[in-house]
Amino acid sequence: MSSEPGEAFSVDLRHNGRVADFTLRTTETDLTVTAAGVDIARYAFDPGGAASEGPKPYLHPVRALDGAELTAFRPWDHRWHKGLQMTWTAVSGQNFWGGPTFQRETGYVPLDNVGRMRHDGFTATTETDTSVSFTEQLTWITQAGDDWFAETRTHRFHGLDTDRGLWQLDFSSTLRNIADRELELGSPTTEGRPNAGYTGFAIRMPRAWTGGRVLSVDAEDADALMGAETPWLALSGEHDEVDGGGTVLVFAGSSTGAPPIKWFVRSEPFPIMSPSASFDEPIVLAPGEEVSLSHRHVFGDRVWTVDETRALAAELAP
């Protein structure tokens, strides 16, 4: 089944009389995915917003199966942080992340260089008995109005496990250079700021999770894991407003770029994670060249123990 933006549809698949795990509905500006009766994710594909915030699609709220929110939206410290979103901080002098730009000589300064991502349409939606996915075409446009990248991205929601209180999201993206010049995809770290390699598919988590536990295969220290090459990270925290906590497990996944994927992660002064494909080394694309990324996120409805987290990471690795 395929759908154009603005065409309302709902998925109610059945197999041997059983209602499907996931349903999908859309408006003219967003998609909402439901699992086990909970709206687990809203994807705003035509969100608008201030030019300085780098308008682009995002997932927010993302929820655990108990309904608790696992993402933050426009926090006071960084208004351009919006849930879980694909972005890039330093692209040949342009900024598709939002906010000020880091420059080696001046530090962070506001510039008229913040680009945007235009949603051009959904090319496919796919529903099976246990998953929902949608594939989308986008164009990355500089503030000056130049088209620099054509992107194909897919979100796949799957892996519902109500007994263990988790669900999974697979994300993939291919960026093709459609400019008439070579483009360099980097980060503030490639521009000279240490341990600031944030870029790519980034999740900003609730402020209540500040100081939460960051865990990897063999470490439990966010500072030590900044810039590390490790197959996965998990961040757990306790909620405000509702009882209990949650866990977000992210797999580094893959990149066709030459640099290895390294982690940008903080739990202080706020919780954020991104597997960065250009943490401290840029990706250079000639006109017509592409880079492809893929990542998996697992969202849990409680704080997993250390042993449980590591066991789930081994089990659910893509």
Q: Which two tokens stand for residue 260?
A: 């290895």
Query: How far is the C-alpha of 20 from the C-alpha of 75, rounded, in Å?
Result: 35
Q: How far is CA 165 from CA 63, 239, 292, 307, in A?
A: 11, 16, 31, 17
* Residue 164 reports pLDDT greater than 70: yes
Q: What is the torsional sign of CA 44, 50, 55, 60?
A: negative
Query: How far is the C-alpha of 113 from the C-alpha of 98, rounded, in Å?
Result: 9
Query: How far is the C-alpha of 152 from the C-alpha of 308, rounded, in Å?
Result: 35
Q: Which two tokens stand for residue 209?
A: 């999770």
Q: Over the stretch 269-283, which tens digit does the pLDDT of each residue have?
A: 999 999 999 999 999
* Residue 16 reports pLDDT greater than 50: no
* Residue 10 reports pLDDT greater than 80: no
pTM of the model: 0.92
Query: How far is the C-alpha of 196 from the C-alpha of 232, rounded, in Å?
Result: 19
Do 158 and 170 form a contact (C-beta atoms < 8 A)? yes
Q: 14-316 in CATH: which number?
A: 2.70.98
What is the mean predicted confidence (pLDDT) over 68-94? Answer: 97
Beta bridge partners of 140: 117, 149
